[in-house]
Structure 1
Amino acid sequence: MKIVVIGGTGLIGSKVVANLNAQGVEAVAASLNTGVNILTGEGLADVLKGAEVLVDLSNSPSFEDAAVLEFFETSTRNLLAAEAAANVQHHVALSVVGCDRLPDSGYLRAKVAQERLIEKSGMPYSIVRATQFFEFVARIADEATVDGVVRLPSGSFQPIASDDVAQAVTRAALDAPLNGRVEVAGPDRAGMDEFLRTALAARNDPREVVTDDHAKYFGTELTEDSLVPIGPARLGEIHYADWAKATA
């Protein structure tokens, strides 16, 4: 069985490739570094020869509203067309929990556009929606810092380890197409302000975390449940406290 992983050299992609290879699957990492350009289509036909599954873990190099929308729409159309020509049987994509609940975010609007293209394509598919990765918690704090103070809302926050995300994507790639979505989140849920307060303290970061329910998360205000699963979800096994100790 051959599975092509777009973005297979990145944070999640490299873990997915390793997981698949460990199970005896021929997993091929495809990226610009390997001569595959999903925006122009260069290299797609060659890498997809004999592939049964394509996993799309690509991400836009720019998060500017117009640029990120152009990236996901163009790349997804190119991937779907190349898959159809190569007789690929399953399209797996990684998306974001709550992306359809935050229309003020240009990045999340682009992820919704990506999902819609996949859903309307006629290609058998599975979409894995994940919450924020543990690896991005520090960036969230940095983005929310003003004059040395971290200002964050108290809405629910349930981040997940990238290893657990990779396991979920691996499972989706090996299973039959869902023709729908599955959501994955970390095992622990808390207010975003509370979670970051604990996370910064664990890393001896002296910044104060102030609760401000009008503080914006990457440009958009959150409601209580904007970033967490509302319905059924698969929970990861790795707790943030354990991950933080292991990566300190």
Structure 2
Amino acid sequence: MRIVVVGGTGLIGSQVVALLRDNGHEAVAATPSTGVDAVTGQGLAQALKGADVVVDVSNSPSFETEAALDFFTRSAQNLFEAEKEAGVRHHVTLSIVGVDQVPDYGYYQAKVAQEDAVRDSGVPYSIVRATQFFEFIAPVMDMSTQGAEVHLPSLRLRPIASADVAAAVADAAQGEPSNGVRGIAGPEVHRLDRLGEITLAAKPDGRSVVVDEAAGPFGGMPDGVLIGDDTVHTVSTRYEDWLKQN
């Protein structure tokens, strides 16, 4: 199959492209760096020519509400116009576990709008919702660092390795459209402050963790939203094992 991966040079997209190629598919990375811009529509028609499947793992460069909303809605509109013209038979989108349970969180509002556009597009689809990536823990800690203290809330997460997310997205792309949502998560529930402690124990740098419920990008978020429900499929990679290898 010819599978176009929008955002195909990023953390998830590059791994999805590699997995699909390993399985014998013609996987094409579509990003501004390869001449394809979903937000403006530039290069989309040419990139989608002959495509069987489109995978969208692109991400807004800004987490600010209006900027993210503009990014996801404009890119979705352009993508679906081009997909219909090209006869694409399956659209796969990566989203976030719990995204529809936090109406006051701006970036999540933008992702909900993206999901709505997918459902309303008329193109058969699959939505993969993942929990937070292991790779995001260290950047969140850096954002919340004050001097030698890392301020983190005690919010519970069930984080997942990006490799496991990429595998789930690639599997969805190679399967039939579900016209629904599949949630995936890591095997363990951790408090975010505890994840910070685990990280610093494995890679000490002189910082220590302080519990602060208002700190960082997840400050004030309702507890329980980011771990998923009983329908979430869990994978086996543990954060502590991943840390040893990364």
Above 0.5 in TM-score?
Answer: yes
Compute the displacement of 1:220 (Å).
Answer: 4.7
In the alignment, structure 1 residue 223 sits paired with structure 2 residue 222: yes
The aligned residue for residue 28 of structure 1 is 28
Compute the displacement of 1:196 (Å).
Answer: 1.6
Are the counterparts in 1 of residues 137 and 195 from structure 2 also a CA contact under 8 Å? no
Q: d(CA) in 2 for partners of 1:219 and 1:136?
A: 12
The aligned residue for residue 233 of structure 2 is 234
* Shift in CA distance, 143/103, structure 1 to aligned 2, threshold 3 Å: farther
Are the counterparts in 2 of residues 93 and 127 from structure 1 also a CA contact under 8 Å? yes
**Where do 4+ consecutive residues of structure 1 move more than 6 Å?**
none
Are the counterparts in 2 of residues 150 and 209 from structure 1 also a CA contact under 8 Å? yes
Q: d(CA) in 1 for partners of 2:162 and 2:28?
A: 20
Compute the displacement of 1:215 (Å).
Answer: 1.8
Q: d(CA) in 1 for partners of 2:168 and 2:218?
A: 29
Q: d(CA) in 2 for partners of 1:132 and 1:78?
A: 27
Query: Share of identical aligned residues, percent?
Result: 52
The aligned residue for residue 83 of structure 1 is 83
Are the counterparts in 1 of residues 8 and 57 from structure 2 also a CA contact under 8 Å? yes
Output the TM-score relative to the length of structure 1. Answer: 0.94
Output the TM-score relative to the length of structure 2. Answer: 0.95
Secondary structure of 2:129's counterpart equals strand
Secondary structure of 1:114's counterpart equals helix
In the alignment, structure 1 residue 185 sits paired with structure 2 residue 185: yes
Secondary structure of 1:54's counterpart equals strand
Compute the displacement of 1:122 (Å).
Answer: 1.6
The aligned residue for residue 166 of structure 1 is 166
Bigger drift between 174-183 and 232-241 goes to 232-241
Secondary structure of 2:227's counterpart equals coil
Q: d(CA) in 1 for partners of 2:236 and 2:170?
A: 15
Q: d(CA) in 1 for partners of 2:71 and 2:230?
A: 29
Compute the displacement of 1:241 (Å).
Answer: 1.3
Unaligned 5+ segments in structure 1 are: none
Bigger drift between 214-223 and 186-195 goes to 214-223
Bigger drift between 14-23 and 227-236 goes to 227-236
In the alignment, structure 1 residue 92 sits paired with structure 2 residue 92: yes
Unaligned 5+ segments in structure 2 are: none
* Shift in CA distance, 162/219, structure 1 to aligned 2, threshold 3 Å: closer
Q: How many residues align?
A: 246
Mapping of residues 132-147 of structure 1, within 5 Å: 132-147=132-147
Compute the displacement of 1:127 (Å).
Answer: 0.7
Q: d(CA) in 2 for partners of 1:60 and 1:17?
A: 20
Q: d(CA) in 2 for partners of 1:227 and 1:107?
A: 14
Compute the displacement of 1:217 (Å).
Answer: 4.3
Secondary structure of 1:227's counterpart equals helix
The aligned residue for residue 51 of structure 1 is 51
* Shift in CA distance, 11/169, structure 1 to aligned 2, threshold 3 Å: same
Letter paired with 1:233? V
The aligned residue for residue 206 of structure 2 is 206
RMSD: 1.4
Compute the displacement of 1:107 (Å).
Answer: 1.1
Compute the displacement of 1:148 (Å).
Answer: 3.0
Q: d(CA) in 2 for partners of 1:231 and 1:82?
A: 36
Are the counterparts in 2 of residues 165 and 184 from structure 1 also a CA contact under 8 Å? yes
Are the counterparts in 2 of residues 104 and 220 from structure 1 also a CA contact under 8 Å? no
